[in-house]
Structure formats: C-alpha cells, structure tokens
Amino acid sequence: MPINVTKFREAERRFKKRVPDMEGVLDLRATNKHPRAKQICKLEGDGSWMWGVEGKEGLFFIPSALDEQQQKYWITKAMSSYMAPPNLTNLDAHYHIPEKGLWAYFENNEILQIKRKVHPDDSVQTQALPMEQILDRDGIKSLMRRIRWVTLGYQYDWTSKEYDFSRSPVPFPPTLAAYSSALTQSAGLGPSRPEAGIVNFYQPGDTLTGHVDRSEPNMQAPLVSMSLGAPCIFLVGGRGRDEEVLPVLLRGGDVVIMAGEARYFYHGVPRILPLECGRMEDEDPKVQLALELLGDARININIRQTDIPVPAEAPKLPKTKMEKELAQRVIVVLECAPLEIVRVGKGSEARHHLLNSDDHQNVLRKHSKDLSDYRPDITHQCLLALLDSPLNKAGRLQVYIHTQKGVLIEINPHTRIPRTFSRFAGLMVQLLHKLSIRAVGSNEKLLNVIRNPISDHLPVKCQRVAMSGEGETVKIGEWVKTLPEEPIVFFIGAMAHGEDKFEFAESKISVSEYPLAAATVCSKVCHAFEDLWDII
C-alpha cells in the first residue's frame, strides 16, 4: 500500500474496482450473520429488527425497514414534491428552474422552455449550448437525471458546508418528519425534531467520498438515513480516516441511524450496485413514472435535527401611536447617566474611550473632576438588569437613557447588551459618534440617539414616578396593584450620588428602607410588574 493512503481511501479504492471483492461486507439480510452484527431491539409497530455493530458505537441498521409499498411512496415523493422549488437542487446553479418544478412538466408531458445560467464551471461544450433550451419529455427526463441532491428544510450550502440560517427555512416535509421521529422513538433514541434533510440521487457509477456531517449545531441528535432503489456499498469508519472501516451492503428499504458517537464517524458511498431483482413496477401511473425516472439509480434521504440557535421569540412591541398610548407597559428612563467620550493618546495612537473613574483617573484629576461622578458601569448594570428581565422579553418594557450631558438614547428591547464593561464602553463610544447602532445584517436600529425632551416620547396619559430615597417608602409589589391601567414611567438615577431631581417626574417613591444600587431598583421594578402581569 502506498504511504499516505488512509484506511478509508483504501476501502474506497477496493469498492471502486470493476469487480469489487465482497469479502467481509456486512449484509444484514444474509442468512448467516456477520460476526460483529448484534441484534439491538425489535421496533414497535411493524416488528423490524434494529442491529448494531460491535466497535461502532451509535451506529444502527434497520434492514427492510420499508416494504415495497413504502419505498415506492418515498421514491415518488422524492421525484415529485421534494425536487420542486422552493427546495434547492444542484441544477439551480445552472438553470432557472420553473416555479412548479420539473416533475409537473414531466408528468403532464408538457414542453419545457428552460433558460440556462452561466456558471464558472461550465465546460466549453456547455458554453456553446444555447442559453434557452426547449425540452420534450425525454429531454426533461435527462435533465432530472442530472439532479444529484435536493435540500429539505434548512437549506444547506454545499460550498461552505454550512446551513444558510439567514434564509427562512422551507418547512420540512411533515410526513417525512413524522416517519423519522417515530422511528427514532421506537428505536429507543427518543423523539427527534427533523429540520433539515438531503436527498441524494446516485446514478450507477456515482460515488460519495468519505466525510463527517459536522454542520449541525447539535451533533448529538440522531441522523436517519433511508436507502431507496439500487443497492450500494456504504463505508463507515471511525472519527479518523485511519480507523477500521466497515463495508455494509445497503439495499432499497434499509435505514441507517447514526447517533451519539457515530455522528462523528467517516462514511461514504464508493459504489452503486446493480438492482438484484429488477426494477419495481406499479399500477398507479404517477408511481410508475417515478419508478421509470429512478431507473437503476439509488436515492438516499437523510434527515437531520439541526437545533439551530434560534433567537428567543422577539417580543411584539407597541408600534403605532395608538398602541404606544394604550399598551400597559413600563417605561424606564435612566437619568443622569455619565456617558462621555474622552480622547486618550496622541496622534495616530489616539483612541476614544468611554470616560470612567477606573481607567481615566489622571485625565479626571487633571480637569479637577470628581472621580465618583464618572461611573458609566452603573448604566451598564442597569441595562443588563432591565433588558435581561422577563418583563422586557415579554415586550412590556421600554428603556431610555438620558445622559448627564443631555443626550437622549432610545434602547430597542431586542438589543443584547454586551456582557463585559469594556465591550459595553466600546458600544457606547460608537453610539455617541454615529448616533445610532443597527443590528448586524438588518436595518433595525438597536440604539438610537433621539431628540429631546423625553416627554415628547412618552404616552400622553401615564404616571411619571421618580425613584428616590426622598420619596415615601412603599412595598413595590403592593403599590403596583394600586395603579391605574395605563403605561407608567420610572425615572431612575444612573449616577453614583447626587440629587434625584428629574424634570418630568410628578411624584417620588422609595422602594426600600436601605439605599439601593440603581440596578437593584431596576430589578425590583421588573419583578413587581412581572408578578402583577403574570410574566414568568
């Protein structure tokens, strides 16, 4: 064996030979079973057996999981509905696929006028072809036989080997999801939530090189893989390309499940084999047509649970003036926030910082400023307490910052406040320079400097309360129950000390007999309204 040829590569070569050596191939339908095959359990329902293999943890086979009728059902589905837009296929890069899909033309014996797209990989022969082609049924059939893959649900980008989570997913076919989930459930692997799938089409002579499917954020969820049509050799190794490789004979109707450790195993298809008992036939013309299109090919449908990190359900916010007037919600204005920019360093080394008593003692002393006046960390803590609260997540909170210098900032409730102070400070510097910060890849403003005064942004009818040690002390949980059903505004000082004189407040309350940090006051306000409005 030449050096540098891995065990996986060697196995691939072995099965690509004209007459491959079938010695040691695991054939779960053979009467004398492979020494390493072990029966795991009988599935509920149709009573198929699930097999495992010694030394291949998490790898399961269900031979003949699908009877002929079921195989025909999935073959027809794959050819007719799965191949059609909005699902993507390898042909999309080369052709403008008609909206109703190729199958519709094939089935109805319609002439198809199809436009080619110029593609960087086009051969000289392809480039010479006309940009528009007129295809009859045979032409459409040849084109459809060029389909090698179709993506289901979350669309997979074959170049980057990543899911395109920015595109809204095409709904995953519900019957396929139900089948896959019922199968993992009856195999004792728990229910799965199929979200993405790939349908592979292998014409005789096609191969799939060894790989690990690593793109799913959740690599623990089982991957269910269904074989239809022609048999094949399926190779499965271990975590590395040089681990022992097991060749398996998969036939139409067999199912493979890769769970746990096996999700990390190299696998591939080096060989499509001839049909053992000829092509299937059916009386139903649609099924018969799908079988005709299939010919001697193999179809593999593999079903994956991605567990995409979906952002928490965005709260519905009052948008119209009317909604803003009436929606029962809490508005917090963080008052006197010391957010100021300072230039540090000279010349090209100069950087803008958020002025603060920890990092800029010299500057502050030089300008005879009181260090304790520069505590932007208090604003940071208040924002974390407020925006992380269930009250905010439920869409019942609006926060503004009014800085010591009179800058008014509106905070979009969807904003994720940076966890560390230094990143928060960087964000504030950016905001004070650019006057607004937008969400990455979207037009939504997260932080926005708005025009003064704050009263222009508050509902006409609302209570305006200052939180102050000078106010009457109340048990806030009880006090909120006495409020009229209208929006309420709290002015909370985001400074270390100083008088709580907030221009637009009409009354003052204190929520503790102790002096509290501003962030604690924010938390108490949130908790009180969460309890009042049953937000858990």
Positive or negative torsion for Cα 360, 363, 369, 370: positive
Listed in sequence order, the residues at least 6 apart from 289 whose beta carbon sits closer than 8 Å to its beta carbon are 79, 106, 107
User: Pick from 251, 267, 329, 375: which binds ligand AKG (CB under 6 A)?
Assistant: 267
Cis peptide before 453 (omega within 30 of 0): yes
Cis peptide before 418 (omega within 30 of 0): no
Q: Which residue has the tokens 């991957």?
A: 223
Q: How far is the CB of 91 from ligand AKG (least distance, A)?
A: 17
Can you list the alpha helix ranges (DSSP code H) found in 358-414? 361-366, 376-387, 390-393
Question: Do residues 536 and 526 make contact, with C-beta atoms less than 8 angstroms apart?
Answer: no
User: Pick from 195, 213, 254, 340: which binds Fe ion (CB under 5 A)?
Assistant: 213
Q: How far is the CB of 208 from ligand AKG (least distance, A)?
A: 6
Nearer Cβ to ligand AKG, position 213 or 340? Answer: 213
The count of residues interacting with Fe ion (CB under 5 A) is: 1
Interaction of residue 300 with ligand AKG, rule CB under 6 A: yes
Interaction of residue 265 with ligand AKG, rule CB under 6 A: no
Interaction of residue 216 with Fe ion, rule CB under 5 A: no
80 binds, among ligand AKG, Fe ion, none (CB under 5 to 8 A by kind): none
Interaction of residue 198 with ligand AKG, rule CB under 6 A: yes
Interaction of residue 234 with ligand AKG, rule CB under 6 A: yes
User: Pick from 235, 269, 290, 409: which binds ligand AKG (CB under 6 A)?
Assistant: 269
How many whole angstroms separate alpha carbon 376 and alpha carbon 380?
A: 7
356 binds, among Fe ion, ligand AKG, none (CB under 5 to 8 A by kind): none
269 binds, among Fe ion, ligand AKG, none (CB under 5 to 8 A by kind): ligand AKG
Quickly count: other Cβ atoms within 10 Å of residue 313's Cβ.
9
How many whole angstroms separate alpha carbon 96 and alpha carbon 132?
A: 10
With residue 530 as reference, give the H or E element that holds it: helix 518-532
Q: Give the Å distances, CA to CA, from 504 to 449, 453, 498, 500, 501.
A: 19, 9, 17, 12, 9
Q: How far is the CB of 381 from ligand AKG (least distance, A)?
A: 47
Q: 396-420 as b/e, with b when 16 or more CB fall inside 10 Å?
A: bbbbbbbbbeebbbbbbbbbebbee
The count of residues interacting with ligand AKG (CB under 6 A) is: 10
x/- string (CB under 6 A) for ligand AKG, residues 304-323? --------------------
Nearer Cβ to ligand AKG, position 15 or 491? Answer: 15
Nearer Cβ to ligand AKG, position 101 or 229? Answer: 229
Footprint of Fe ion (CB under 5 A): 213
Footprint of ligand AKG (CB under 6 A): 198, 200, 208, 213, 225, 234, 267, 269, 300, 302
